[in-house]
Chains A and B, each alone.
Chain A
Amino acid sequence: MSQVEKKTGLLRRTSSSKKPLKEKVVLMYDEIFAKEDPAKNNPRFWDELFLMKVNLEYLETKLETVDGEEVQKIQDNINSLFHHCVQALGEEHQIKVVNALQTLCALFRGVHQKNKSASGFDIINMLMGFDKAEQRMKDLMERLDSLLCGEGSESLKSLCLKLLLCLVTVTDNISQNTILEYVMINSIFEAILQILSDVSSRGQHGYDAVVLLALLVNYRKYESVNPYIVKLSIVDDEPTLDGMGMVVHHALTEYNRQYKDKEEENQGGFFSTLTSMVGSMFIADADEKLSVQTNEAILLALYEAVHLNRNFITVLAQSHPEMDIPTTPTTLTPTTPTTPLGTTPPSLDMMNNPELPLDPNLQTSNLLITFLKYASIVMQDTKDEHRLNSARLCLIILTCIAEDQYADAFLHDDNMNFRVNLHRMPMRHRKKAVDKNIPSRPLVCAVLDLMVEFIVTHMMKDFPMDLYLRCVQIIHKLLCYQKKCRIRLHYTWRELWSALINLLKFLLSNETTLLSKHNIFHLALLVVNLFNMFITYGDTFLPTSNSYDELYYEIVRMHQVFDNLYCMVLRVSTNTGQWKEPASKVTHALVNVRAIVNHFNPKIESYASVNHISQLSEEQVLEVVRSNYDTLTLKLQDGLDQFERYSEQPKEAAFFKELVRSISLNVRKNVSLNTLSQGVLLKEFSTIS
């Protein structure tokens, strides 16, 4: 029966010119869109309506096609429809609830589709009527809240979340969605938290809940006080925060896994056929090589949590056994749509299991590690707009983390050693690092590795200046922490030094092209100041005395770069122009590096000539360095260990606006109410009632 109905519904859409039999619900819709009160002739009209299977397409198209004047006339009926939808949500009859939810969704969508340019007030007026809007929305939100928090059916909860997601994303710019004002007043924050704190509901709805929360937090973020921001910032209930972390963790893990599968598939091999089958279940277009679509919504949620809530930081370090075992097909229950980046991730069953699995092969992991891996993948290729945004967001999150003292504490915790297999871009001039050999180290080493990796791999024409800035700033913040707390990290600083010097070299050689778009002096200043940190404060955080010698060795070895840089900045700073000021700052910053170069170079040359060696070995140079420290005087520079704290506003506001817009579009595209097929629901509810 329902099948037939569905078919007719579909038919209607494609061949609207013909006049086949109209299903009953469509007739009822037509009645609504007539000017008379449908309940006038049939007092049980509304009762009956919600017993009918919703025809979303018809309703939406109908709303879309109504033109301006007609709207006025049928507004009462639409208001009435909305009102009855809200009332139906309180019905005991689950079918009615489902239909009401879907109808509401169609209403929101249809009205917005129709009135893309209309002001929010018009839309509210059309849906609810100005005078009653407040009450209607209050009722709606209360009903939704109790549905979400009640003991009811899971599919129903899922549908509620879909409705909310639908409502939140009806406009491209979330802040222009005036209806959300009522969602602000009638908060469903607690309902979202409850979903996240409960293991089973988290498994089924966690993803939607987190995305919804991330979007709500971004509603008029900068203009008004958003209660969701306030509330999110003070949540301290660990199970809840942990639940949120788990959802993010899982989504990122899933991404990493898909990427890995793709990669293996590309490399071909015995495993590839199998994984491609699994992979193609999740990824719609298999042509796309190695580019699994990023999930900015979940990343945004992570950002908001890290940025707003200081308790969330602990969740980052919360370890879980790694969850990237290929998931079983049982996860594809009908309730979870299999859209490519659908709003529901394919497998969340691991989270349903409160007991830690006993698989000895599982590497222990935590959210931070998973995030770092994710970042390493995303950063590989920043040409794609989405990936660039993701990479930027990753770096912003890392910035927040690096600024947090507690996070720093566990990043540097000597007892928390992990192997983090970062993804490295295959490049011509280097072999792919063998994964197995990565030693187990404090987490901060992985962060530094990631930064070094980024620096080395993104020196390209289309220079991602802001990413570089963030990257260098993150390193700086970590160094400041180490200096402050006198933590001597056993890290191969040499790799960092040479990466930084190479970066300077790149800036120099592409000066002209880069200068047209970027202030390269700012970046150069930051890089030089990193060296200054090492030079002046190395005694507080370098791990061995040798490492200080090696620093000098590296500087002296690459003195050409510093010399050239000095020449360049000197030249620019003597000219008048927009770069005069920044360039002269770099000249000042270079004072110690130049002192070192000028001090040791002659010594080394004389050592070579005295000993008649043309090419000094590293050991010999180090020897010279060691014996000539005492005659070198350095200048103490101010504020090396100070940094500008991250603040979202005003600098990043534009970025986040754009990001949220793109996420909204994406989510809207993928919120699919239809996937929740009526059949499933009928089956479920027939057993209930």
Chain B
Amino acid sequence: MADAEVSLSPALLHLSPSHAAPPPPPASTSPTTFSCPSSPSSASSSSSSSSSSCCSESSSDCPHHHHHRHPHRPQLQLPPPPNSEQPSSPSASPRSSSPSGSIGSTGSLGSSSEGIGSSGGSSSGEQRGPTPPLDAISEDAMEMDLGADQVIDPEVALKACQEVLLKVKLQNREVPDQQQVDNKQELDDHQQQQQQQEEEDNQQQQHQQDDHHHQQQQQDNQQKQTHPPCTDPTESSGPQWLISPDTSSIKEEDEEEVEEGGSGKDEVKQHGTSSQRDTPPPSSSRLESSSLLSASSSSKQSWLLRLFESKLFDVSMAIAYLYKSKEPGVQAYIGNRLFSFPDSEVDFYLPQLLNMYVHMDTEVGDAISPYLIHRCRGGITFSLLTAWLLGAYSSDMHISTQRHSRGNKLRKLILSDELKPSAPPADPQRGGSVSGSPASSPSNRRCHRRHNSHNVDSTSPFPSPDSPVPGESEVFVSPSRRTHQRSKSDATTASSGFGSGLRRTGSNPRVEAVPEELERLRPQRELVKSLLGIGRRLATLPTKEQKTQRLISELSLLNHKLPARVWMPTAENQHHVCRIPNTQAVVLNSKDKAPYIIYVEVLECDSFETSAVPARIPETRIRSARSAENLDCGGGVTAANANLSTMTSEHRTGSFSTVPNYDNDDEAWATDDIGQLQVEAQTSSSDNISQFSVDSITSLESREPVFIAAGDIRRRLSENLAQTPTSFRRDPEDPSAVALKEPWEEKVRRIREGSPYGHLLNWRLLSVIVKCGDDLRQELLAYQVLRQLQSIWQQERVPLWIKPYKILVMSSDSGMIEPVLNAVSLHQVRKQSQMSLLDYFLQEHGSFTTEEFLTAQRNFVQSCAGYSLICYLLQVKDRHNGNILLDSEGHIIHIDFGFILSSSPRNLGFETSAFKLTSEFVDVMGGLDGDMFIYYKMLMLQGLIAARKHMEKVLQIVEIMQQGSHLACFHGSSTIRGLKERFHMSLTEEQLQVLVEQLVDGSMRSITTKLYDSFQYVTNGIM
């Protein structure tokens, strides 16, 4: 302890002296200069990183550095040794300059540690003292690095990391002694000093370390540049964050208030321009909270520290500690560590993070919020997801508290779109995985703005960036690729000699003054709003048929605004939505709500935020598009069809070329040709010719009369009809059955053929279920648990098969679901096929001995085992056949996790069994004595053992979500305990085996399962 103290305090001293000399720069700027709010290491790493450009690089590198670092860790002796012999060295500076956050801590430290130098302005003479120890380390590290041919960054990063922890420890001890409520002024001073110190350090470093020379200079420059605009209220409030625990929370809120309140454009602009603004909150808050660390044994700390530093420390553990640790220091540390994890991994825990943010004490919130804000700046996707989830999780709060809750404030902040991407150089998340890079280049910005201006003009339900507006498409599409449409409207407008004040003005993006940032989230929000609005309206219609009709018609209106800068949040890849084939949409089965499934055509792109939105292609393109596809890709269409369309296209090329040749098209539509074209349209008939050639050539060639047997015709008819036996009948009461039964590939091909965009190589089809009036938070929880179990089983190599489907919570009563492809419900199977499950398997996959059947059977068993376990562990109820899907490969998939854990549909005493295992299922598995049934039980055992091993990971997901939640699944007090018990930690594997046997037996014999099925049949008509 003493060591630590010594080692640290010098650092402080070292810092403090410097401030005296230079004119005090505005207090808070320092934090901001270090763009990288990420891990403690960030600043130093950035300084050492070779890229001259910006910190953005550094932050994205962070995780990377950490990984690198691990191998060296032991050698580096954590916690840092308190050597003091080392002469001051440049390497110290990175530490001190390190994540701005350190300011706060050092500030408080400074005052406290002034056991040595009592006041803020401590003696300059001592400054050399402190640095050495760390220097030594760093130098060592560097040497090692060089030896190992490693980059230097990791070391430096590590060092900074250590330092922070060290300080944390120190503070723990110091704080109590010290006056908690420091004079704010003093703190400010400290900060200033510190900052200057940092600058000095940097310069020092420059001298000594050539490697770093370059960047540091840059950094300095940055710092200097950034000083002036520090008038930003939020910045000046920076110091407040440092204030003692009690006040801090309040102040922080105030600060947020300021942030939110100041929605005035001026402020917005400042946000945009001042790069510093982006980063400070994380670090400062972190440090601040670290200063609050209550006393705890340093040994424990060091163990924790070791753990945190170890490579085993992953997001899951981070979340766990964040949740469990009551120590602000730890929380703050983890809050910072979040920056170092890959985005995608953290994203998985986003619901947990946000729930903690909303429902737990301020410290946790403070720890997380920098990360959240940072990520929100990074990407529209993350911003929206966060906003939606925040809204949903806040909804359980009392209405009065909700308004002022932290979650709600953050939500408003995000939705107000003030968290726009930082100026390019400061944006740390560039190239980040999910978030994608925000619009940074000037040209992109312009695009944004343009389409915004257009949005403003349009009275549309949701704004379309460019779609039908010629002027717009010009922006995105290079002149040579100007579309057909464009050229045509040129033709129309150009030929009018006058009257320029016409509609062309409407589309003329003159209103460029509208700030782009305000509109960043809008298109997507509007899309979601329209989709949900449709769902709400549909619910008011009485019959499925009317609902579907209305759905189709409303979607067609949406289509007018597409393509646009909108995306389907459930999809993996970056894309723009280009069209919704509205006639394919179908209303799903539901008694009083109107969930519906839509298919969405998208065009993949590099980044949906920056890539150009594809130009609109008019619907009637379909004809030529179809043929174009055949010519280009030439696959998947029946010979007759291909033949036909080739004919058409060939014929058409004469007059106006097919889709791929846009450029020629332009010319083809030039004004001169119009007259000619019109003649063509009137007189010639491509259809005639193609038909003629296909159908009648045979008969024409031979003058002899051709005779055909009536019997043949009749036979062909029945054969043709027999060829498509597996499609379901169209049932007005169940319109979705047909749509869902159609094999996905088939559907994709069909829709692609019919789409004007189908010929594009990056064309994809997605589908999504839109739900209104349903709370999907529980579904989301189930999804997380399923995903977690899935990865556990994968990790443990247990071949259990489950299919977690993505859930998107948009509010507490709406959201989207990723549909399971190629799957229909057991209910639909039964109703349509009127046969037993086994017979259906035989019909679909072939007889018992065929490979297809065996594969399907194995799939069935593996999925059955997986879902049996899940149903047991999560106590999934309401397992009627409408909620169990069967996919085309034989897997079963459970859907609808509306009743899990502590909740079940009414308390009729149904479904007492552990899971649903009907004799039909057993039949498919080959009967009770079959090998596959034994395999089934074995799988369950293995799965349970594997799950048990990682129980904490599963438990944690559920437990955190219980915070502040009013969800039915958390009803009662024993939810978590019950869940825990079902993992049976205490049992031996043999005992577990017995348990599995019992569960299976019990479920199979369960009368209640049958009862529930018949109950469902009677009440809801579900077979």
Check if B583 sits within 8 Å of A193, measured CB to CB. no
Shortest distance in angstroms between B176's beta carbon and chain A's nearest beta carbon? 63
Residues of B within 8 A of A634 (CB): 707-710, 713
CA distance A378 to B701 in the complex (A): 46
A43 close to B (CB within 8 Å):
no
Which chain B residues border A405 with CB–CB below 8 Å? 623, 687
Contact B707 A635 (CB under 8 A): yes
Task: Name the CB-closest residue of A to B686.
Answer: A405
Measured between C-beta atoms, what is the minimum distance from B949 to chain A in Å?
Answer: 49
- Please provide the chain B residues from 433 to 490 with a CB less than 8 Å away from any CB of chain A in the complex: 459-461, 468, 484-485, 488-489
If A405-B623, A638-B696 touch, whether A199 touches B707 (CB-CB below 8 Å) is: no
Q: Is the CB of B716 within 8 A of A539?
A: yes
A641 lies within 8 A of B583 (CB): no
Stretch of B544-552, B775-783, B808-816 contacting A (4+ beta carbons < 8 Å): B544-552
Q: Is A567 an interface residue (CB 8 A)?
A: no
- The one of B552, B669, B677, B718 in contact with A416, judged by C-beta atoms closer than 8 angstroms, is B552
Within 8 A of B (CB), among A369-425: 403, 405-406, 409-410, 413-418
CB pair A230–B678 under 8 Å, yes or no, is yes
- Tell me, yes or no, whether A187 is within 8 Å of chain B by CB: yes
Q: Is the CB of A548 within 8 A of B674?
A: no
With contacts A416-B583, A440-B732 known, is A190 near B492, CB below 8 A?
yes
**Contact digits for A533-552, partner B, Cβ 8 Å, 1 yes 0 no:** 00110111010110011000
A360 contacts which of B485, B540, B584, B688 (Cβ < 8 Å)?
B540
Contact of B711 with A by CB under 8 A: yes
Q: Which of B103-162 contact A (CB under 8 A)?
A: none
Establish whether residues B717 and A480, one from each chain, have CB atoms under 8 Å apart when the complex forms. Answer: no
Is the pair A225, B710 in contact by a Cβ cutoff of 8 Å? no
Q: Flag if A310 contacts B681 (CB, 8 Å).
A: yes
Q: Considering the chains assembled together, what is the distance between the CA atoms of A638 and B698 in angstroms?
A: 10
Decide if B714 touches A629 in the complex (CB within 8 Å).
yes
A602 contacts B by Cβ under 8 Å: no
Contact between A356 and B557, CB atoms less than 8 A apart: yes
Q: Does B554 contact A (CB under 8 A)?
A: yes
Chain B residues, Cβ within 8 Å of A645: 685, 687-688
Residue B622 lies at the interface, judged by CB distance under 8 Å to chain A: yes
Binds B, one of A82-90, A207-215, A233-241, A608-616: A233-241
Quick one: CB contact mask for B541-584 with A, threshold 8 Å, 1 for yes?
A: 11001101110111011001000000000000000000000011
A239 touches which one: B540, B560, B583 (CB < 8 A)?
Answer: B560
Given contacts A234-B492, A234-B669, contact A193 B710 (CB under 8 A): no
User: Which of B35-43, B260-268, B306-314, B494-502 lies at the interface?
Assistant: B494-502
Are A229 and B502 also in contact (CB < 8 A) when A536-B708, A548-B714 are? no
Known pairs A320-B553, A321-B550; A636 contacts B699 (CB<8 A):
yes
**Within the assembled complex, what's the spacing in Å between the Cα atoms of A626 and B718?**
12
Interface size on B, residues (CB 8 A): 82
Q: Which residues of A contact B694 (CB under 8 A)?
A: 484
Q: Which residue of A lies closest to B690 (CB)?
A: A484
Is residue A340 contacting chain B, with contact meaning CB distance below 8 A?
no
Smallest CB–CB gap between B65 and chain A, Å?
Answer: 52
Rounded to whole Å, the gap between the CB of A351 and the closest CB of chain B is 13
For A354, list chain B residues within 8 Å (CB). Answer: 459-461
B499 lies within 8 A of A190 (CB): yes
Q: Which residues of A contact B692 (CB under 8 A)?
A: 639, 642
When chains A and B are docked, how far (Å) is the Cα of A486 from the Cα of B492?
A: 39
CA distance A226 to B460 in the complex (A): 34
Tell me, rounded to whole Å, the shortest Cβ–Cβ distance linking A199 to chain B.
Answer: 6
Expressed in whole angstroms, the Cα–Cα distance for A318 and B552 within the complex equals 9
Q: Which residues of A contact B786 (CB under 8 A)?
A: none
Residue numbers in A under 8 Å from B687 (CB-CB): 403, 405, 645
Residues A634-673 near B (CB distance < 8 A) = 634-639, 641-643, 645, 647-649
- Whole-angstrom CA separation of A624 from B820 in the bound complex: 49
Q: What's the Cα separation between A613 and B549 when bound, in Å?
A: 50
Q: Is A51 an interface residue (CB 8 A)?
A: no
Report the Cα distance A643→B491, complex, angstroms: 34
Nearest A residue to B695 via CB reads: A641
B683 within 8 Å of A (CB atoms): yes
Q: With an 8 A cutoff between CB atoms, is A194 at the interface?
A: yes
Choice from B499, B619, B721 contacting A142 with Cβ under 8 Å: B499
The CA of A305 and the CA of B710, in the complex, are separated in Å by 44
Q: A191-B502, A231-B495 are in contact. Are A319 and B553 (CB under 8 A)?
A: yes
Interchain CB contact under 8 A, A313 and B620: yes
Whether a CB of chain B sits under 8 angstroms from the CB of A633 is yes
Contacts of A229 in B (CB 8 A): 678
Q: Is B654 an interface residue (CB 8 A)?
A: no
Whether A415 contacts B714 by the Cβ 8 Å rule is: no
- A545 B717 Cβ-Cβ under 8 A: yes
CB distance from A314 to the nearest CB of B (A): 5
Whether A231 pairs with B710 at a CB distance below 8 angstroms is no
B582 to chain A, nearest CB (A): 9
CB distance from A222 to the nearest CB of B (A): 11
Beta-carbon contact of A238 and B618 below 8 Å? yes
* Interface assignment of A30: CB less than 8 Å from any CB of chain B: no
Q: Which residues of B contact A313 (CB under 8 A)?
A: 620
Contact present for B493 and A538 (CB under 8 Å): no
Contacts of A637 in B (CB 8 A): 699
A360 touches B705 (CB 8 A): no
Shortest CB-to-CB span from A603 to chain B, Å, is 13
Q: CA separation between A237 and B678, bound complex, in Å?
A: 18
Instruction: Decide yes or no whether A149 CB sits under 8 A from chain B.
Output: yes
Do the beta carbons of A418 and B549 come within 8 Å of each other?
Answer: yes
The reply to whether B709 and A633 form a contact with Cβ atoms under 8 Å apart is: yes
Chain A 298-318 near chain B by CB (<8 Å), digits 1 or 0? 000000000010110110011
Q: Which of B498, B548, B644 contacts A145 (CB 8 A)?
A: B498
Measured between alpha carbons, how far is A194 from B739 in the docked complex, in Å? 40
Contact of A417 with B553 at beta-carbon distance under 8 Å, contacts A403-B687, A480-B691 already known? no
Chain B positions within 8 Å of A310 at CB level: 620, 681
What is the 8 Å Cβ interface bit string for chain A, positions 170-213, against chain B (1 contact, 0 not)?
00000000000000001111110110011100000000000000
A residues whose Cβ falls under 8 Å from a Cβ of B: 142, 145-146, 149-150, 186-191, 193-194, 197-199, 225, 227, 229-231, 233-239, 242, 308, 310-311, 313-314, 317-321, 354-356, 358, 360, 363-364, 366, 403, 405-406, 409-410, 413-418, 439-440, 480, 484, 486, 488, 535-536, 538-540, 542, 544-545, 548-549, 596, 626, 629-639, 641-643, 645, 647-649
Show 22 A/B contacts (Cβ-Cβ < 8 Å), sorted by A: A145-B498, A188-B499, A194-B502, A198-B506, A234-B491, A310-B681, A355-B461, A403-B687, A409-B754, A414-B730, A415-B548, A415-B739, A480-B691, A539-B713, A542-B717, A544-B721, A545-B714, A548-B713, A632-B709, A633-B708, A633-B710, A638-B696
Q: Kindly list the 4 A-B residue pairs having the minimum CB-CB distance in the complex, ordered from nearest.
A: A319-B553, A629-B711, A630-B711, A539-B717
Additional 15 contacts, C-beta under 8 A, given A146-B501, A630-B709, A631-B711: A194-B502, A234-B488, A234-B491, A234-B492, A405-B687, A417-B732, A538-B717, A539-B717, A540-B720, A542-B717, A626-B714, A635-B708, A636-B699, A639-B692, A645-B685
